[in-house]
Amino acid sequence: MQKAQDGRVLIFDTTLRDGEQSPGATMSHREKLEIAEMLDEMGVDIIEAGFPIASEGDFAAVKAIAEQTRSATICGLSRANFKDIDRAWEAVKPARSPRIHTFIGTSPLHRAIPNLTMDEMAQRIHDTVTHARNLTDNVQWSPMDATRTEWDFLRRTVEIAIKAGATTINIPDTVGYTAPVESADLIRRLIAEVEGAEDVIFATHCHNDLGMATANSLAAVEGGARQVECTINGLGERAGNTALEEIVMALKVRHDILPYDTGVDSRKIMAISRRVATVSGFPVQFNKAIVGKNAFAHESGIHQDGMLKNAETFEIMRPEDVGLSGTSLPMGKHSGRAALRAKLKELGFDVADNQLNDIFVRFKDLADRKKEVFDEDIEALVRAQGAAEQNIRLKFMRVICGTEAPQSADVILTIDGADHQVTAQGDGPVDAAFNAIKKLVPHNARLQLYQVHAVTEGTDAQATVTVRMEEDGRIVTGQSADTDTVVASARAYITALNRLLVKRALTGAGTDTKSVSYKDAG
């Protein structure tokens, strides 16, 4: 069982579970294993690898992560019933250090869903935690929506879970409702008043609906919590979860008033932040703390002057502390594979030879079109690298647009190895391109989001396009970059369609991820 010393805060990462529940953020099996390996290598204490009962795919991913992980405790989530708990145990038991995490909603609103009385819920907590403890000595229990649960009932259920064998008690602020002073007081009071509290670790799990997730988590640590549940980039449902990078760096930079340590190697933060952004399709906002593009950027004259004289005038941490290189290796059309590999490593990407070859070809093509290739351009190339694995690919596109001519797009898609061509019109070149793609790959998905931003400055800058689509409750996100905004848009749309096919298969709407219906047109 994982224990924390008084000055040690355990980092519990739930990117692969709660983070993946963010609409459109579904990751493939291979991507989950890759992220889990990066989390393990950076020193995360507990990895919540998934919700094994949710699907066969989730079960397989959790089990594979349990089998490959060398250091971290591997945790599987389960609802308060024997079937969920048994399934979670089957998935995590190959781990060097397995954990079962079971939960039930204890607030009045959540008790109404299963229509349980307080006594009935108390009995279920006792029975399910006891069942989990009979399987493993590492059991975590959570009263979902704890911060809106009546104090007397919360205290009662926590005591029941401890007596039944829970070793970690997690107190979730499920809807981001609480404030820092309340978060600290709640943990402090539970530790003081709950029988058996001295024998367990108290954890905090905060959502960011009011923008206070990190503040609430740090307050809970001051109140006595010794485990923080968080995600990379703050990924998660609605406004997201507590961001791992913010917790780790807050404890590191403000160790004078927060005298607690973690086992996380902060120098690996940028690499995993970029990788999670890539595989989830959720770009990091520019002004995001710690990992945003502008987190260490200085444009104001006063700021630049101060930075030139002493970096500490406007930076409270060094870029190197989070994995950013202090030096720059300019890249251009004369750069070779070795230079590209070195730059990728500097940016936190460790790629295999075949991946490097694919990225190098596209890097050379980009370098021929741009005067200078920036770090952000190379990151965009890596984000687009997975296109080679897609069942639907853009082979050719030509658009006609302007003030006089009709807006049209001539598109050739390669679908399962065969080429199909179509021409379509639309309200502008992007709409025409999307209409052409939809002719070849009919679907009922609704476009929820279409977003464009420049990767770097200048008229030759790559445009990064993000699209989000929804079909029958399945939400997918696609992202791509190109110096041609229309091409980037089409590729992002196609990436989302490929992810939709995978989701259809996983939810039983299709029998095969390659079961694409298409039409030859034009």
| Residue 12, amino acid | F
Residue 173 parent element (H or E): strand 168-173
- Alpha carbon 80 to its chain centroid, in Å, reads 25
User: Structure tokens of 374?
Assistant: 């920036």
Measured CA to CA, the distance from residue 14 to residue 236 in angstroms comes to 9
Q: What is the DSSP pairing of strand 73-79 with strand 46-50?
A: parallel
Measured CA to CA, the distance from residue 265 to residue 261 in angstroms comes to 11
How many angstroms separate the Cα of 384 from the Cα of each of 338, 352, 362, 463, 491?
Answer: 20, 15, 10, 12, 9
Residues shown for the chain? 522
Eight-class DSSP state of 283: P
Dihedral angle over CA of 87, 88, 93, 95, nearest 10: 140
User: Structure tokens of 111?
Assistant: 């008790």
| Residue 159, amino acid | E
Neighbour-count burial of 58, counting CB atoms closer than 10 A to its CB (0-12 exposed, 13-18 middle, 19+ buried):
buried
18 is in an annotated binding site: yes
110 is in an annotated binding site: no
| Cα atoms in the 13 Å half-sphere on the side-chain side of 45 | 20
Residue 49 parent element (H or E): strand 46-50
241 is in an annotated binding site: yes
Question: Reading across the β-sheet that carries 408-415, which strands appear in turn?
Answer: 392-400, 408-415, 418-425
Q: What's the sign of the alpha-carbon dihedral 182, 184, 190, 193?
A: negative
| Residue 107, amino acid | S
Which among 86, 38, 44, 88 has a CA at the least distance from the CA of 62? 88
Q: What is the DSSP pairing of strand 474-482 with strand 418-425?
A: unpaired
For 306-351, the three-class secondary structure string (H helix, E strand, C coil) is HHHHCHHHCCCCCHHHHCCCCCCCCECCCCCHHHHHHHHHHCCCCC
Eight-class DSSP state of 295: T
**Which residues carry a binding-site annotation for Mn(2+)?**
18, 205, 207, 241
Question: Which residues sit in the known binding site?
Answer: 18, 205, 207, 241
